Amino acid sequence: MQPLEGIRVLDFSTLLPGPLATLLLAEAGAEVIKIERPGRGEEMRAYAPKFGTDSVNFALLNRGKKSVAIDLKAPGAVEKLIPLVKSADVVVEQFRPGVMDRLGLGYEALAGINPRIIYCAITGYGQSGPRAAVAAHDLNYVAEAGMLALAAGADGAPVVPAALVADIGGGAYPAVMNILLALRQRDATGRGCRLDVAMADNLFPFQYWALGNGLAAGAWPAPGGELVSGGSPRYNVYRTRDAKFIAAAPLEQKFWENFCDAVGLAPELRDDARDPAATRKAVARRIETKTAGEWEAVFAGKDLCCCIVKSVREALADPQFAARGIFGARLTAGGRAIPALPVPIVPEFRAPGGEAGYPALGADNDLLNQKTK
């Protein structure tokens, strides 16, 4: 039995944060029912490229779920959803504050129908505060939480992050964490609750070191100038002779000494505390003397926390990930199969077999006519 077997989730969310959160719940055994608008469904169905009839992005994030298509603004929509609300354990929504209330589907209304319901609202800035109703995206959240300023490019300007940290680390993961805590609390109290998950709020744990340095020592970090943001030769990216890159992270002294030996760094530059910039430049010159493959051979078998920067395609073929089996589950559509999105649910909690498709829009509208459990 999977840990969330028997848990029913109504998912009103779209795009990334909410759908990824409910994917994690589904992978752990929950029944997830997407509530979508008729005709088009949620926005991500229309994205390119396609996998089956819809976007592969939609397919990856909505594997193993169900779909009910209903116009939430139409007369009688709430009444049609009452059977599902009565049988639901969790609701996830991602509208701006107040939208679900205006639709008659806010927490107070749903809790009046089902006091055990756990209602999780994921927004950029939360349900309160001066920016609660402001439109924004991931880049805005990381900018306003101070994170974007910590990583600078060669010209000193902030670099657009490669990952949607706010959507995933600030939205989806905290949502799942708090839903699980709320389910545990409901076991004891018999009542549900409302969860206010604000993506911008949840970015500050990623900056624990910057907060600590600033608050305790008054040493607020400079863009690209700190230990783990590009200011140290011990935590940096270096270009090889064949225009590839080495990710070097020999932070601890034993790793640093091994690294210096491996790259042949001059003895007078190994005390990087004296002139970090000079040591960093010297390391860069040494790395540029060999190709990535040559450095990989030099580093093999040595404790020095270094590796070659790989593309996503190369990472998929990496023997480490293959040995772990993280791409073993399959996503199917239209007679095709590709690896499912790996999610941080351990194999012990996931269904055996691991092959599933994604829902066609409105494929499960018959659920609106089922009796409540």
Catalytically active residues are 137, 167
User: Which residue in 352, 368, 330 sits closest to 80, CA to CA?
Assistant: 368
Q: For the packed helices 253-263 and 276-287, what is the interaxial angle rounded to 10 degrees?
A: 50
Q: Which bin fits 311, alpha (ψ -120 to 50), beta or left (φ > 0)?
A: beta
> Computed from CA positions of residues 8, 12, 14, 16, in that sequence, does the dihedral angle turn out positive or negative?
negative
